[in-house]
């Protein structure tokens, strides 16, 4: 008899049947088979599609096992099965469209009964091949050109646009600092992090925390998918700025005026001229693509100095103007320096590029006043940049700025916002992940999303195949411990669709 069986990965499937003939008519991957009679093994082997066996004696039980989930067609009988597909081509055809979500994606599994498949894209050039297919290794096909593949093997298709990753629901907690090797007892996450000095890149989070019991200093912890690492300690960390988001390059300002530059967690430069001027009370840092500027507290004005010339401040703010620069961000797409500032108890975004002399006010960076668009600066100020958008966040509020149109969309009661690939805006709200493709005017839930981030601010970044987060509100155990979530490709919105024509035996 011809049977169809659904095999689960690494799970035993039994067939109670008496016979001497076995033929695996169709399968997607290899199958492990053991035939027994009265509990004694008659034959044990690995079979693939098209394999046909005749055992030396009759069996009364087949035991099947597969490394992957798959559907199979198998003949089990006292009689042999002889079948050859009719000559001259296929006798069954199927047509459908396959959605593609970016990067490399498997379009077709192995199908023993498939003679050929034709692929066609109206909109995107694509590359096809087997496992490991990329635009560098695959066979190129232009949009508008059909491609016929005479094969029953797996087919992977790549398009030259990145997928949109979202967080999965499973995660691991980073419980130890530096792998628990004993540095400062390996502990972290006991103290509240310094919100306004945190920084984020495409590969890591940088958290200043007063966790070091011997010194009680604020030291910087780098959180990435490889774990939590304590960087150099030479005083209290006062500010961290991102120099290059994609290259994971940051600069850290210590209270004593020393500036250290790190790339991928490794120190690559150090500047100490500010320390020589005054080894105390350095508070904030700016990077403009070429130079650093640091703010020194305790003088008659809010004076900003550059390490290359400490004789006089480059610019300054009058203390009676009630204007304070809380956090600065370098936008390398436009080579501008943007700052989230506090003025009269409200938050503004100013363009402070090339500031010099007495700066009583700055131009609005986004072309308009955003008074009320951002919440309390005390709870983590953040700005992120893509080629199409700028997103900003502070105190449960956020905004989305479209670089081309200049439109600003305000967001309320959110936990996280970031511009992703293809102009998609990614938000966490009420513990759930949402995406928008219209500048944040409307958001759609992500299909099959089972992740629950709970309440509170989510400070995170997508790093490789992980979503790395650090809580800015306490975990249930009363600590602040980082989490590393698995990620999956979002299927909320397809980038492209392929027309598929299958010819079957």
Q: Which residues pair with 364 in a beta bridge?
A: 350
Kindly list the distances between the CA atom of residue 362 and the CA atoms of 299, 354, 356, in Å, as whole numbers in the listed order.
21, 11, 11
Cα angle vertex 490, ends 487, 491, to 5°? 145
Lowest mean pLDDT among 342-346, 458-462, 478-482: 342-346
Q: Collapsing DSSP states into helix, strand and coil, what is residue 346?
A: strand
**What is the reported pLDDT for 500?**
95
Mean local confidence (pLDDT), 171-194: 74
Lowest mean pLDDT among 6-15, 91-100, 186-195, 248-257: 186-195
- Tell me the three-class secondary structure of 421-483, residue by residue: HHHCEEEEECCEEEEECCCCCCCEECCCCCCCCCCCCEEEEEECCEEEEEECCCCCCCCCCCE
User: Is the pLDDT at 446 greater than 90, yes or no?
Assistant: no
User: Is the pLDDT at 87 greater than 50, yes or no?
Assistant: no
Kindly list the distances between the CA atom of residue 244 and the CA atoms of 194, 196, 504, in Å, as whole numbers in the listed order.
22, 19, 52
Instruction: List CB contacts of 312: < 8 A, sequence separation 6 or more.
Output: 305
Q: What is the pLDDT of residues 405-430, one digit of tens each?
A: 999 999 999 999 998 877 889 999 99
Residue showing tokens 């390059």: 249
**Is there a contact between 381 and 326 (Cβ–Cβ < 8 Å)?**
yes
Which structure tokens are listed for 468?
């790395």
Q: What is the pLDDT of residues 128-163, one digit of tens each?
A: 999 999 999 999 999 999 999 998 889 999 999 888
Domain boundaries of the chain, sorted by first residue: 2-77, 92-163+496-504, 165-489
Q: What is the pLDDT of residues 362-421, one digit of tens each?
A: 999 998 888 888 877 666 889 999 989 999 998 889 999 999 999 999 999 999 999 887
Alpha-carbon span 231 to 250, nearest angstrom: 12
Alpha-carbon span 447 to 450, nearest angstrom: 9
Q: What is the pLDDT of residues 314-342, one digit of tens each?
A: 999 887 667 888 899 999 999 999 999 88
Q: In CATH terms, are 2-77 and 165-489 the same topology?
A: no
Average pLDDT for the chain: 88
- Architecture of the domain whose range is 92-163+496-504: Sandwich (2.60)
Q: What is the pLDDT of residues 295-314, one digit of tens each?
A: 988 777 889 999 999 999 99
Of the candidates 7, 24, 29, 13, the one whose C-alpha atom is nearest the C-alpha of residue 76 is: 24
The domain made up of 2-77 has a fold known as Jelly Rolls (2.60.120)
- Architecture of the domain whose range is 165-489: 7 Propeller (2.130)
The band of 447, judged by pLDDT with boundaries at 50, 70 and 90, is confident
Mean local confidence (pLDDT), 107-130: 92
């Amino acid at each position: 008899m011809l049977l169809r069986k659904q095999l689960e990965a690494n799970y035993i499937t039994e067939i109670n049947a008496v016979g001497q003939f076995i033929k695996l008519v169709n399968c997607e991957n290899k199958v492990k088979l053991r035939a027994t009679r009265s509990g004694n093994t008659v034959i044990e082997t690995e079979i693939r599609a098209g394999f046909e066996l005749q055992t030396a004696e009759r069996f009364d039980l087949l035991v099947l096992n597969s490394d992957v989930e798959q559907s199979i067609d198998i003949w089990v009988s006292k009689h042999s099965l002889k079948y050859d597909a009719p000559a001259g081509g296929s006798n069954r055809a199927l047509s459908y469209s396959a959605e593609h979500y970016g990067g490399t994606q498997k379009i077709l599994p192995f199908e023993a009964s498939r003679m050929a498949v034709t692929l066609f894209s109206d909109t995107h050039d694509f590359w096809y091949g087997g496992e490991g297919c990329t635009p560098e290794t695959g066979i190129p096909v232009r949009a508008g050109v059909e491609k016929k593949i005479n094969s029953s093997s797996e087919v992977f298709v790549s398009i030259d646009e990145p997928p949109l990753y979202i967080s999965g629901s499973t995660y691991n907690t980073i419980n130890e600092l530096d792998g628990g090797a004993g540095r400062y007892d390996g502990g972290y996450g006991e103290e509240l992090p310094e919100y306004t000095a945190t920084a984020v890149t495409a590969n890591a989070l940088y958290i200043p925390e007063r966790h070091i019991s011997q010194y009680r200093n604020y030291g910087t912890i780098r959180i990435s998918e490889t774990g939590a690492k304590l960087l150099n300690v030479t005083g209290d960390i006062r500010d961290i700025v991102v120099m290059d988001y994609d290259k994971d390059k940051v600069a850290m300002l210590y209270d004593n005026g020393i500036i250290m530059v790190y790339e991928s967690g490794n120190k690559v430069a150090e500047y100490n001229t500010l320390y020589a001027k005054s080894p105390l009370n350095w508070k904030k840092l700016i990077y403009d693509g070429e130079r650093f500027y640091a703010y020194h507290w305790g003088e008659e004005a809010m004076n900003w100095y550059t390490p290359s010339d400490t004789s006089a401040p480059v610019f300054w703010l009058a203390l009676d103007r009630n204007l304070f620069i809380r956090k600065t961000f370098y936008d390398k797409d436009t080579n501008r320096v943007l700052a989230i500032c506090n003025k009269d108890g409200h938050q503004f975004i100013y363009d402070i590029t090339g500031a010099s002399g007495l700066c009583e006010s700055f131009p609005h960076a986004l072309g308009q006043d955003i008074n009320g668009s951002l919440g309390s600066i005390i709870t983590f100020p953040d700005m992120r940049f893509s080629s199409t958008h700028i997103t900003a966040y502070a105190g449960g509020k956020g905004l989305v700025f479209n670089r081309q149109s200049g439109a600003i969309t305000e967001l309320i009661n959110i936990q996280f916002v970031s511009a992703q690939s293809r102009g998609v805006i990614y938000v966490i709200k009420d513990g759930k992940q949402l995406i928008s493709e219209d500048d944040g005017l409307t958001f759609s839930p992500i299909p099959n999303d089972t992740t629950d981030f709970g309440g509170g601010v989510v400070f995170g970044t997508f790093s490789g195949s992980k979503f790395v987060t650090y809580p800015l509100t306490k975990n249930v155990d009363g600590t602040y411990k980082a989490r590393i979530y698995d990620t999956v490709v979002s299927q909320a919105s397809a980038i492209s669709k392929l027309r598929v024509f299958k010819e079957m035996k």
